[in-house]
Each structure stands twice: as C-alpha cells, then as structure tokens.
Amino acid sequence: MTSTRLASRLTSRRRPEPGRRWVRVVMAVLATIGVIDTASITLNRWGVIGNLSCPGGAEGCDKVLNSPWGTVFGQPLSLFGLLAYGAVLLMALLPLVLQGESRTSVNRLSWWGLFLLSAGMAIFSLVLVGVMAFQIKAFCTFCILSALLSLSLFVLSLIGGEWDDTGALIFRGMLTVLAVGLIGLGWATSLNRPESATGPGMPRPVLSASTPATLALADHLSATGAVMYSAYWCPHCHDQKELFGKEATAKLQIIECAPDGRNNQAALCATKNIQGFPTWEIKGQLDSGQKSLAQLAALSGFKGSLSN
C-alpha cells in the first residue's frame, strides 16, 4: 500500500511535465528565430554579409540600425540580443536532454533563468520601441520582430514554470523590470542629441579641421565629379566627413538621400539604387561604405600627397 501511494505521488508530481515540455520546445523555436534575426543584423553591421532585405522598406531599418542607439561599447546592439537569445535557447533545451537528478535541479533553475532573462529582454525591447517611435521616428521590421519574440518568451516563461511561491516570482520580476527599465532609459537618454544644434533633418556639424592634403583631395574629387550619397542620421557618413575636416567637406558634392532630410534628393538616390550610406560615386562607379583617404585617392586617381 505504501509503495502504491508513493508511486501515485510521484506520478502526480510529474504529470505537469509534458505541458512544460511543449512550452520549452516553443521557446526554443522562438529563440532560434531570434538568433537568426539578431545574427543577420550583427553580421551585416560587421560587413560579413551584404545589405539585408528589410520588409516594410530598407530606409527605416537603415535609420534605426545606424543610429547612435544601434551601437553599444562599439559593437552592434544586435550582438547583445544574439547572446540573450542564445542563452534562452540553451536554458530551454538543456533540461530536455539531461537525465536523472541533474535534470530535476537544472529544470527548476532554468525556469527562473528563462523568466528573469525574458523579462529583462521584454522591458528593454519596449524601451527600444519607444526610442524608435519618439527619437529616431522610424521603425525597423527586424527590431519589431525581436520585441515580439521577447514578449512572447516572457509570457511563455510564466506559463511553463513551476511557480509555487508567487510572492518570490512577483518580487524578483519587479526588481528585474525596474533595474532593466532604469538602465535602459538612462542609456537611451544619454544618447539623445537635441536637434536644436543643427535643426531637424540636418546632419551633425563637422568639427575637425582640414589639412592641405584633405583640401587638395576634396578639390580633386569635386573636379572629377565624385559624389557622396549620404543621410543626415548616418554616423558613418559623419565619420567620413570628419576625415576630411570642416573646410574640405564643404568642397565635396554631398547628396542627402533621407526623405526627411533637409534639401534631400531622395528621388535621385532611389534612381541610383542607393542602399547603404555613405555611398561614393567615382568615375561612374558606385562603391558603398566609409572609405579611407587613401582608398578615395586610389579610386579617383588622385596623385597628390596625403601627408600633412
């Protein structure tokens, strides 16, 4: 009789496991989609793969991903999303492949990990959506997908976990939400540059001083009909101009491609099929990406010295 009762108790305790198992599988599938999403963006930003086809229009994705909020510690923000989705994938699958006592202990710990990590991801995603809506004023389909995945993972973690102590669940969840929310808002605010310095739709001012070499190269590029296609919000375009300096930049032929940019020629950029910024047109050939002064000299046939 005792053995029968013991078996009955063990069976009743294990009964919910199949339900949690399917939740883990669904979370693993969503995390895999998140890994693919963020890995594609990261590899694109690293220059490993070419331009991404962004559903809903490449303009919004370029504007968001190349904004000041698209980089953290010099690395694409998507890289940290990739690491987060990878951790979710690992925690979702690990208890499914383990056996014995290790499976039992890892199972419970992983639910807490999934809950806290997905809560942080969901809150940070909401901060990013707010930044896109109110600061960048553009939307990236890849980023919206990531936000939906994060929210879905959070809901699934609530459904799948064994939450006997709801008080601890609420307390830890609130701490995570407050910590990530405050850090995220602080980070987003610190990168906010008021438009009053240049006006809406205007690029950041170039602060570096030009040299005789950069002035000579700029004169040569202008004389040979070289064109730089740019967008006011593009940090790489700004860095390109800083290489020339303020005075030399004024000599370059720079075309604004952003539809909401001041004095833009978006129609011309569309005709040229400009997909990345900056893009140089030199001797009738389009070449995308920021270039060194030596590269521009070689492409344009500049024979002068680049030494100051």
Same domain, 65 and 159: yes
Both tokens of 85, joined, read 């989705």
Q: 56 in a domain, yes or no? A: yes
Is position 6 within any domain? no
In a domain, 143, yes or no: yes
Give domain status of residue 204, yes or no. no
CATH number assigned to the domain comprising residue 247: 3.40.30.10
Give yes or no: residues 253 and 104 share one domain. Answer: no
Q: Answer yes or no: is 39 within a domain.
A: yes
249, 185: one domain: no
pTM of this prediction?
0.70
Q: Are 187 and 68 contained in the same domain?
A: yes
Q: For the residues 283-298, what does the mean pLDDT come to? A: 92
Residues 182 and 48 in one domain: yes
| Banded pLDDT at 294 (limits 50, 70, 90) | very high
Give the pLDDT score at 1. 45
Q: Give the per-residue pLDDT at 108.
A: 86
Mean pLDDT, rounded, for 70-97: 92
- Tell me what pLDDT residue 17 has: 53
Q: Within this chain, do residues 294 and 183 fall inside the same structural domain, yes or no?
A: no
- pLDDT reading at 107 higher than 80: yes
Q: What is the pLDDT of residue 6?
A: 43
Q: What is the mean pLDDT of the chain?
A: 86
Q: Give per-residue pLDDT as tens, 197-244.
A: 456 788 889 989 999 999 999 999 999 999 999 998 888 898 899 999
Does residue 135 belong to any structural domain of this protein? yes
203 found inside a domain: no
pLDDT of residue 102: 81
pLDDT above 90: residue 296: yes
Residues 234 and 96 in one domain: no
Place 308 in a pLDDT band, splitting at 50, 70 and 90.
low
Q: Bigger pLDDT: 56 or 119? A: 119
Same domain, 110 and 226: no
Shared domain check, 231 and 149: no
Split into its structural domains, the chain has a count of: 2
Query: Where is the domain boundary, 163, 192, 221?
Result: 192
Question: Considering 126, 157, 192, which residue would you say is the last residue of a domain?
Answer: 192
Expressed as residue numbers, the domain containing 112 is 17-192
In a domain, residue 240? The reply is yes
Residues 269 and 149 in one domain: no
Quote the percentage of the chain above a pLDDT of 90: 57
Co-location of 236 and 276 in the same domain: yes
pLDDT in tens, 18-76: 448 899 999 999 999 999 999 999 988 787 886 677 776 666 787 788 777 888 887 88
Domain boundary among 162, 192, 222: 192
Same domain, 181 and 220: no
Q: Does residue 79 surpass a pLDDT of 60?
A: yes
pLDDT in tens, 140-164: 899 999 999 999 999 999 999 878 8
Q: What is the pLDDT of residue 58?
A: 62
